[in-house]
Amino acid sequence: MENIMLLFTELANAKFDQMSKKTEVSRDAQDMANRVDALLASLADAKGKAELPEDVIAYMRENNIEVNGMSIDKFIAENGTNLDKADLTAVKSALESHSGRASDFVQQNQLKLQQLMQNFNTAVTMANSVQSMNAESAKSIAQSIR
Q: pLDDT digits over 119-146, tens only?
A: 888 888 988 898 899 888 888 888 888 7
Q: pLDDT digits over 10-69, tens only?
A: 888 888 898 999 999 999 999 999 999 999 888 878 788 889 999 999 999 999 999 999
Nearest-angstrom CA–CA distance, 48 and 1 = 66
Nearest-angstrom CA–CA distance, 142 and 137 = 9
Tell which wins on pLDDT, 145 or 91.
91
pTM of the model: 0.76
Write down the pLDDT at residue 95: 96
The residues facing 50 across adjacent strands are 83
How many separate domains does the chain show?
1
Residue 43, domain extent: 2-145
Q: Which residues are within 8 A (CB) of 102 and not within 5 positions of it... i.e. 6 or more apart?
A: 22, 23, 25, 26, 29
- Fill in the amino acid letter for 96: E
- Mean confidence (pLDDT) of the chain: 89
Q: Is 94 in contact with 52 (CB distance < 8 Å)?
A: no
